[in-house]
Amino acid sequence: MISVEEARQRVLERIEPLPAERVDLLASLGRVLAEDVVSDIDVAPFDNSAMDGYAVRAADVADASEERPVRLAVVEHIPAGGFPSVSIGPGEAARIMTGAPIPDGADAIVMVERTREEDDGRTALILAPAQAGDHIRRRGEDVRAGEVVLERGKVIGPAAIGLMAAVGCARPLVHRCPRVAIVATGDELVEVEEFPGPGKIRNSNSYSLAAQVLSAGGVPHVLGVARDDVASTTALLSRASEFDLMVTTGGVSMGDYDVVRDVLERLGEMDFWKVAMRPGAPQTHGTIDGTPFFGLPGNPTSTMVGFELFVRPVIRRMLGYRALDRPRHAVTLAHDVRKKPDRRYFLRARVERGPEGGYVARLSGPQSSAVLTSMHRANALLVLPEGASSFPEGSVVDCIRLDMEEGTP
């Protein structure tokens, strides 16, 4: 048996970000850039007005006030998307909208709230002074042409999507999403639509795993159920090379019909098969035709915890993410917790903010690895180290937040 750290390290050792592909701009949300994005223009592309109002010569209105308004002749109207056709001379102004280009001659904007109009809009009364530069957004204020606006390796969020749109990057280059094969094993499994007969249960793990793959950013391919024999298991596992990653559930312990390990050794190479943890010690890892392979245990929570600890970071690295681990933090136990000293335990828990700051944890239900309801209620896994067995109320332990994304505080 190896430690959780060693298993994690060995699993990640050979994983690299997948090759890049171009995708539509919006489809790049949440993906990782595989090249720098360079702007083809200045943003803003031209000096423009930050307000609806009048473009003026600041010198003309230096002494303007409510009591002594300055009268200016309005020579044209410039809407957003329009372009000025005349320059502004002394005693003149242009009515201008937010985002419209500043006409030559003008060097300040007076917002409409500080003006009145006369002669059907042909004259503007300026009621407040302006200084050169007021309410003018300068060309290149945000981005300069040729500047790198987003670096490779950055995770694309909504603001990055907006930036790429502004600088003309319609098809960003991002790392490909891993295709993950999911294989369930077991003669007892029936489909979700079926009512299980005697001795049968529904195949829930293919679904929880596919959902975990999706929420990690991978593309699940549910290959179906291998029966508990070598031929049926070989038929599905030999398809590994069609995918970037293969995950099986069940059939990896010491049972008479647990054939996954044998088949893995026949088709590929096994790296390790047991990790000193609970739930789910038989976390098998290896490769088949070069494709990383994970033989997760069959119990519904063991399979999910194994995925969280070992498969999710692999999917993230393939996607190009640098942050591979969910946030961890200290929590205070709200009640006594006991465990066997042998292995590291990952206990399903509800973690909430405590009354005096900090975080408080309660187990979210029974901890049998066959129980999924407590996993559903959990927002964290308490990490209880090997060696210790008794954690009285008030003990401070570590937790992994299942409800927080990697790379967040």
Q: How far is the CB of 284 from ligand AMP (least distance, A)?
A: 11
CB of 190: closest distance to Mg ion in angstroms? 14
Number of residues that bind ligand AMP (CB under 6 A): 18
Q: Tell me the residue nearest to ligand AMP as measured from the CB.
A: 298
Cβ-contact 252, 264 below 8 angstroms: no
Q: What is the per-residue binding string for ligand AMP in 163-202, x denoting contact by CB under 6 A?
A: ---------------------x-x-xx-----------x-
Write down the least CB distance from residue 281 to Mg ion, Å: 15
- Torsion angles phi and psi, residue 261, rounded to 5: -65, -45
Strands 108-111 and 245-249: unpaired
Contact status: 253 vs ligand AMP (CB under 6 A): yes
Selection from 224, 57, 29 nearest residue 133 by Cα: 57
Nearest distance in Å: CB 232, Mg ion: 12
297 binds, among Mg ion, ligand AMP, none (CB under 5 to 8 A by kind): ligand AMP
Which of ligand AMP, Mg ion, none sits in contact with 17, Cβ below 5 to 8 A by type?
none
Is residue 295 near ligand AMP by the rule CB under 6 A? Answer: no
Q: Strands 396-401, 328-333: parallel, antiparallel or unpaired by DSSP?
A: antiparallel
CB of 166 vs ligand AMP, minimal distance in Å: 47
57 token code pair? 């010569």
**Residue 217 in contact with ligand AMP, rule: CB under 6 A:** no
Determine the Cα–Cα distance for residues 142 and 46; give it in Å rounded to an integer. Answer: 11
313 binding partner (options ligand AMP, Mg ion, none; Cβ < 5 to 8 Å by kind): none
Residue number with CB closer to ligand AMP (129 or 224): 224
Angle at 406 between CA 405 and CA 409, to 5 degrees: 85
Cβ closest to ligand AMP, residue 268 vs residue 279: 279
Would you tell me which residues interact with Mg ion (CB under 5 A)? 186, 250-251, 298
Count CA within 13 A, CB hemisphere, residue 163. 22
The label of the residue with tokens 């290959």 reads 223
* From Mg ion, ligand AMP, none, interface partner of 233 (C-beta below 5 to 8 A by class): none
Please state the separation of Cα 64 from the chain's center in Å: 53
**CA distances, 231 to each of 142, 228, 257, 267, 285 (Å):** 62, 9, 12, 12, 20
Asked if 65 contacts 128 with a C-beta cutoff of 8 angstroms, the reply is yes
What is the footprint of ligand AMP within residues 9-68 (CB under 6 A)? none
Q: Which does 188 bind (CB under 5 to 8 A by kind): Mg ion, ligand AMP, none?
A: ligand AMP
**Do β-strands 337-338 and 344-353 pair in parallel, antiparallel, or remain unpaired?**
unpaired
Alpha-carbon gap, residue 170 to 185, rounded angstroms: 43
CB of 292 to Mg ion, least distance (A): 22
Among 28, 48, 115, 203, binds ligand AMP (CB under 6 A): 203
What residues from 296 to 355 belong to the interface with ligand AMP (CB under 6 A)? 297-300
Query: Which of 220, 250 has the CB closer to Mg ion?
Result: 250
Q: Is 368 helix (H, G, I), strand (E, B) or coil?
A: coil
Q: In 3D, which of 33, 38, 35, 37 has the Cα closest to residue 321? A: 33
Q: Which contiguous run of DSSP H or E holds residue 225?
A: strand 219-226
Among residues 231 and 396, whose Cβ is nearest to ligand AMP?
231
Query: Interface residues with ligand AMP (CB under 6 A)?
Result: 184, 186, 188-189, 201, 203-206, 249-251, 253, 255, 297-300
